[in-house]
Amino acid sequence: MALRVKGLQHLNLRVADLARARAFYESLGFEVSFAKGHTVWLSAGGDLLGLSEGEVAAERSGEHFGFIVDERGDVDRWAAQLRARGVGAEKGPYDRSDGRSLYFRDPDGHLVEIFWLDPAFLALSRG
């Protein structure tokens, strides 16, 4: 059985000036969903666009895109399937404050995340 993703959950971009980037995207109609640390998360339809402040390097060191999965264990199943195909994890799988993640790189070096969002985190962050 092939594993499937539920959708594209977020796109995270590193920006040199968070206030400037936030103002730019808000001027385009994006709305702030929440902020966490040095990152602002903007609503992009049913998905999120993250803007993380930091040094913008020529390499794609901090940029990544993530696919959301239905269950916590799906992250580990993805890790096993990737290992079986010779794709090593960049990081994870590991638990974090908002869910469980696995990072790996595609053949072009893009950083990809498989992510399970803990419903308890959403309940706390909205409360």
Residues forming the active site: 113
In DSSP terms, which residues pair with 8 in a beta bridge? 67
DSSP for 34-88, written as a single string: EEETTEEEEEETTEEEEEEES---SS-SS-EEEEE-SSHHHHHHHHHHHHHTTPP
